Amino acid sequence: MKLNSVVFKLGATILFLQLIILIPLGYIILQLILNYSMNQTEQQLVQLSEKYATQVNNIDDPENLQLLEHLANMTDTSAVILDQNGETVLQSNWHEDITDEVLANPQIRQLEHGETIVEEYTFNSTTYLKVAQPITNQDRIQGSVVLFSSFGLISNSIHNIIFLVIFASLGAVALAIGFTFFISKKLGAPLIAMEKVAKQIAEKKNFSLRVDYKANDEIGSLAHAINHLSETLERYQTNRNEFFSNITHELKTPLTYVKGYANAVRHEMYQSKEEREEFLEIIENEADHISNLMDDLTDISKIEEGKIDLNKEDININNLTEEMIRRSQFRASEKGLKMNLDVPDNTVFLFADKNRLDQVLTNLVENAVRYTEKGSITLQVKEERNQIIIRVKDTGIGIKTEAIPYLFERFYRVDKSRSRANGGTGLGLAIVKNLVEMHEGDIDVDSELNKGTTITLRFPKEENSQHTTSK
């Protein structure tokens, strides 16, 4: 595992977080155990000293030594009996390095008042717990019993507990490491897979690869985004390749016509003047076709670069749509199609760029004529309170539902073979969508296969202006 890998970094982070919780927690547990043991020892010494003090009637009684030894051995402490002046009467399990002064004068006075003394002190680098209890007889202080317990002796009693705590902590760390490795692998594996897929997409242009991760979390969202990007790039690459193929075809075909008929005119291969004029007309039409194709390419390039300006003015939509019907009537009649116009009785004005709006409607109506074999085409205008609606309806071949979301993408063609035959390049609708959006409008498509298509344009109303403005 590489030290700079995301799996290692993630694992190290999780382990670090676990350790900064476990270490203080272990320390706190040890302190609690130690304090509990100290308190228990202190309470035990106080209780035993009280019990011993109540059983002694006379500090000079020889049986006191036996009782004192029993007390010292039972509690593993050093014990001493003092008289009223603080002088030693009896000792048991005594060590000379415990102290050179059992009780100080202030402590003797405390005992004379019937108080119990509990004190921690250090002597010769050793810390002790000292408990002193007054011995009373007939409400008179005879002396005192003093017990000494070394902290070292007390700590020995909890060594086993500390060992168990440390052992449990090590086990917890081992489990944390295992858990960290598992979690980091679980989280890191899909990230590594995404990295490999991204490299394949970037370096080898293999846009067919997908990340196989289905969880509904942030990593799943990232995987979905990468897959969506891959699908988009794959579709873009396919459409681009087809676009260049179509452009080549669209340029090569008219150029072949132009070259052939120009050569025929040059070498006077026509039979009559009328045939010569027909040849020249074909050359002119093919030149117009190439010019229109170049215009589309120029428009899409300008749109991508944001270099198209709109010269907006008040447009009479009634007149514009009537003109559109007249222009399309000839081609529609050649296919036996009926052209219908549905406009309101009142004149509808739209504040827009006339040439660009004409380009939009021309593209939509020509597409309707191109892909309709029988029936009719209707151009409808509606004026509502806040918007103007223009619809182009046809009874043509329709569009598959799954193809509609991609309809306005550059280079996309629904029926590739039919588009090639009709001269489509996949640019027209992309230009239409961008021009509509530049007018702050939107475009919707409703289509049913083999029944027809309705394309709806919606434009917001703006205050009429009598002057041409630029946007």
Count structural domains, the chain. 2
For 5-22, write each residue's pLDDT tens digit.
Answer: 666 666 677 777 777 887
Q: What is the 3-state secondary structure (H, E, C) of the chain?
A: CCCCCHHHHHHHHHHHHHHHHHHHHHHHHHHHHHHHHHHHHHHHHHHHHHHHHHHCCCCCCCHHHHHHHHHHHHHCCEEEEEECCCCEEEEECCCCCCCCCCCCHHHHHHHHCCCCEEEEEEECCEEEEEEEEEEEECCEEEEEEEEEEEHHHHHHCCHHHHHHHHHHHHHHHHHHHHHHHHHHHHHHHHHHHHHHHHHHHHHHCCCCCCCCCCCCCHHHHHHHHHHHHHHHHHHHHHHHHHHHHHHHHHHHHHHHHHHHHHHHHHCCCCCCHHHHHHHHHHHHHHHHHHHHHHHHHHHHHHHHHCCCCCEEEEEEHHHHHHHHHHHHHHHHHHCCCEEEEECCCCCCEEEEEHHHHHHHHHHHHHHHHHCCCCCEEEEEEEECCCEEEEEEEECCCCCCHHHHHHCCCCCCCCCHHHHHHHCCCCCHHHHHHHHHHHCCCEEEEEEECCCEEEEEEEEECCCCCCCCEEC
Provide the residue range defining the domain that includes 335. 308-470
Q: Is residue 404 part of a domain?
A: yes
Q: Which of 133, 161, 189 is the last residue of a domain?
A: 161
Q: Is residue 286 part of a domain?
A: no
For 325-372, write each residue's pLDDT tens digit.
Answer: 998 998 899 899 999 999 999 999 999 999 999 999 999 999 999 899
Q: State the pLDDT at residue 468.
A: 37
Q: Which of 114, 135, 161 is the last residue of a domain?
A: 161
Q: Is residue 127 part of a domain?
A: yes
Q: Is residue 219 part of a domain?
A: no
Q: Is residue 217 part of a domain?
A: no
Q: State the pLDDT at residue 413.
A: 66
Q: Which of 100, 127, 161 is the last residue of a domain?
A: 161
Q: Is residue 103 part of a domain?
A: yes
| CATH number of the domain that residue 12 is part of | 3.30.450.20
Q: State the pLDDT at residue 177.
A: 75
Q: Is residue 203 part of a domain?
A: no
Residues of the chain with pLDDT under 50: 418-421, 465, 467-471
Q: State the pLDDT at residue 425.
A: 56
Q: State the pLDDT at residue 457.
A: 96
Q: Is residue 315 part of a domain?
A: yes
| CATH number of the domain that residue 399 is part of | 3.30.565.10
pTM score over 0.75: no
Q: State the pLDDT at residue 97.
A: 66
